[in-house]
């Protein structure tokens, strides 16, 4: 099918991330491939990766002058001749993992989503819940699907059923952070009736998120003022430990997370914010054996995972205003990325694209 929109505007990284020439125009394909869909993007949520890539910290290959972003929400405005999974007018979001399970898509070695339009294969998008705004929709693919995958064993049945889930010592500490994945996990866990322990470096951020989310109160631990925070988590769970940890720090905090997970519990390893610190992993083997733990690597999720998340959000009519820190205009993308790099946000930073 021929497209009526001929060009798009994209935000491109400068080589060494010095400010300037942040946007460029690029021609879109005049004819779409048979299974391709052209999406008009309305909102892009930033992730830590975007700031990390922009500042040279990404451990995977990076395309020179690439377009940031792997989260987006938009509307299908043209489809290829053989497209059958979506139609013009559908509200969609791309998935993060193109091979559904093993490799990264919209990664640093290809152009991302921070643009007015994007062409995707129809298999790589999921339909969005109708009740979500564009900004709320944009935070679901990466942070949302990652949080869903990290919690899945504890959540999916409960969110899909109308059963009330009763918890005794079942808590979820979202280790180190009030960022995107953590706050999304917090929302999903609470929607399932789970008690949550939130771990942050900042009392101010903890107060903000407590005020935003209201009752029931979240239990909190400050890992900066309390270097042995795992003991505080154990104290809050009567010495038992939590059922599951969403682990964002990596080797700098993994063993501590394991030490406050209950015997037979799960640590979902999501992030590596503390950087590689092998010396901090000395007690890994003894702790995993002693506590009979499962430590799972999380890499976003499959298309099925993302579809399940969307279904759960629709079923519960969850909204995410309370975990959107701020919404920025497209021409402020550079400032927004810097804001994320400085870790000022509580929850998600979103860029609205009105062009
Ligand atoms: N595996 C996957 O599929 C996947 C998907 C998405 C993200 N990630 C990774 O998960 C991590 C979090 O991503 P995000 O997008 O949620 O980040 P984010 O929104 O930027 O939030 C990060 C938060 O973590 C805390 N933090 C900062 N530096 C830290 C450090 N050195 N050690 C521990 N905590 C630190 C801060 O919260 P406080 O100030 O409250 O402490 C910060 O606001 C990153 O490592 C990211 O690359 C992985």
Contact between 173 and 198 (Cβ < 8 Å)? yes
pLDDT in tens, 297-332: 998 888 888 998 999 899 889 999 999 999 999 989
| pLDDT number for residue 154 | 66
Residue 200 CB less than 6 A away from ligand 1: yes
| pLDDT number for residue 168 | 31
Rounded to whole angstroms, the Cα distance separating 247 from 173 reads 9
Select from 58, 343, 350 the residue to mutate for testing ligand 1; criterion: most ligand atoms less than 8 Å from CB.
Answer: 343
Q: Averaged over 238-255, what is the pLDDT?
A: 91
Contact between 218 and 194 (Cβ < 8 Å)? no
190 exposure class (CB count in 10 Å sphere: 0-12, 13-18, 19+): middle
Q: How far is the CA of 38 from the centre of ligand 1 (A)?
A: 31
Residue 13 CB less than 6 A away from ligand 1: no
Residue 257 CB less than 6 A away from ligand 1: no
Residue 174 CB less than 6 A away from ligand 1: no
Residue 300 CB less than 6 A away from ligand 1: yes
Select from 181, 245, 296 the residue to mutate for testing ligand 1; criterion: most ligand atoms less than 8 Å from CB.
Answer: 181
pLDDT in tens, 187-198: 988 888 788 899
pLDDT higher than threshold 70 for residue 256 = yes
Rounded to whole angstroms, the Cα distance separating 146 from 94 reads 14
How many C-beta neighbours within 10 Å does residue 9 have? Answer: 15
Q: Name the percent of the chain lying above pLDDT 90.
A: 52
| pLDDT number for residue 98 | 55
Residue 197 has φ and ψ, to the nearest 5°, of -110, 125
Per-residue DSSP letters for 82-145?
Answer: T--S--TT-EEEE-S-TTSSSS-SS-TTS--S-BSEEEEEGGGEEEPPTTS-HHHHHTIIIIIH
Q: Averaged over 235-239, what is the pLDDT?
A: 91
Rounded to whole angstroms, the Cα distance separating 180 from 170 reads 22
pLDDT higher than threshold 70 for residue 214 = yes
| pLDDT number for residue 57 | 81
Domains of the chain: 7-139+321-352 (3.90.180.10), 142-297 (3.40.50.720)
pLDDT in tens, 86-97: 999 999 999 886
pLDDT in tens, 100-155: 433 334 456 678 899 999 998 999 899 999 999 999 999 999 999 999 999 886 66
Per-residue DSSP letters for 330-350?
Answer: GGGHHHHHHHHHTT--SSEEE
Rounded to whole angstroms, the Cα distance separating 269 from 267 reads 6
Residue 302 CB less than 6 A away from ligand 1: no
Beta strands at 348-352 and 91-94: parallel, antiparallel or unpaired: unpaired
pLDDT higher than threshold 60 for residue 78 = yes
Q: How far is the CA of 99 from the centre of ligand 1 (A)?
A: 24
319 exposure class (CB count in 10 Å sphere: 0-12, 13-18, 19+): middle
| pLDDT number for residue 162 | 35
pLDDT higher than threshold 70 for residue 175 = no
Contact between 106 and 41 (Cβ < 8 Å)? no
Q: How far is the CA of 292 from the centre of ligand 1 (A)?
A: 26
Helices then strands (H, E): number in the chain? 10, 15
Residue 298 CB less than 6 A away from ligand 1: yes
Residue 184 CB less than 6 A away from ligand 1: no
Q: CA dist 244 to 24, 172, 256, Å?
A: 44, 6, 13
Residue 277 CB less than 6 A away from ligand 1: no
Residue 42 CB less than 6 A away from ligand 1: no
Q: CA dist 14 to 24, 48, 54, 269, Å?
A: 11, 18, 9, 31
Q: Averaged over 241-260, what is the pLDDT?
A: 92
Q: How far is the CA of 248 from the centre of ligand 1 (A)?
A: 6
Tokens representing residue 213 in the block? 């989310």
| pLDDT number for residue 102 | 34
Beta strands at 348-352 and 324-329: parallel, antiparallel or unpaired: parallel
Q: Which residue has the higher pLDDT, 19 or 209?
A: 209
Q: Averaged over 223-227, what is the pLDDT?
A: 93
Rounded to whole angstroms, the Cα distance separating 50 from 114 reads 10
Residue 177 CB less than 6 A away from ligand 1: yes
Q: How confident is the model at residue 160 (pLDDT cuts 50, 70, 90)?
A: very low
Average pLDDT, the chain: 85
Q: How far is the CA of 52 from the centre of ligand 1 (A)?
A: 10
| pLDDT number for residue 109 | 64
pLDDT higher than threshold 50 for residue 164 = no
pLDDT in tens, 17-53: 665 544 566 778 878 899 999 999 999 999 999 998 8
pLDDT higher than threshold 50 for residue 6 = yes
How many C-beta neighbours within 10 Å does residue 224 have? Answer: 12
Which residue has the CA at smallest separation from atom 29 of ligand 1? 273
């Amino acid at each position: 099918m021929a497209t009526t929109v001929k060009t798009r505007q994209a935000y491109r990284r400068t080589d060494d991330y010095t400010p300037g020439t942040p946007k460029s125009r690029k021609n879109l394909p005049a004819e779409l491939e048979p299974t391709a869909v052209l999406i008009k993007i309305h909102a892009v949520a930033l992730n830590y990766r975007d700031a990390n890539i922009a500042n040279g910290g990404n451990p995977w290959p990076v395309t020179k002058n690439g377009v940031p972003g792997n989260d987006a929400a938009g509307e299908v405005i043209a489809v290829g001749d053989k497209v059958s999974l979506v139609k013009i007018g559908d509200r969609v979001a791309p998935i993060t993992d193109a091979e559904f399970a093993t490799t990264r898509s919209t990664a640093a070695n290809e152009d991302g989503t921070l643009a007015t339009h994007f062409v995707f294969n129809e298999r790589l998008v999921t339909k969005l819940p109708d009740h979500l705004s564009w900004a709320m929709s944009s935070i679901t693919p990466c942070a949302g699907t990652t949080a869903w995958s990290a919690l899945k064993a504890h959540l999916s049945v409960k969110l899909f059923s109308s059963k009330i889930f009763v918890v005794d010592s079942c808590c979820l500490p979202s280790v180190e952070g009030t960022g995107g994945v953590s706050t999304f996990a917090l929302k999903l866990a609470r929607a399932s009736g789970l008690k949550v322990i939130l771990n942050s470096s900042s009392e101010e951020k903890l107060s903000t998120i407590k005020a935003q989310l209201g009752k029931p109160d979240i239990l909190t631990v400050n890992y900066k003022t309390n270097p042995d925070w795992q003991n505080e988590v154990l104290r809050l769970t009567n010495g038992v430990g939590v059922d599951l940890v969403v682990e964002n720090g990596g080797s700098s905090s993994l063993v501590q997370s394991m030490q406050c997970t209950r015997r037979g519990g799960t640590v979902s390893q999501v992030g590596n914010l503390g950087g590689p610190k092998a010396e901090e992993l000395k007690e890994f083997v003894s702790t995993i054996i002693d506590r009979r733990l499962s430590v799972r690597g999380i890499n976003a999720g499959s298309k099925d995972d993302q579809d399940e998340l969307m279904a759960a959000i629709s079923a519960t009519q969850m909204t995410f205003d309370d975990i959107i820190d701020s919404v920025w205009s497209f021409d402020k993308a550079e400032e927004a990325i810097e804001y994320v790099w400085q870790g000022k946000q509580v929850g998600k930073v979103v860029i609205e694209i009105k062009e």
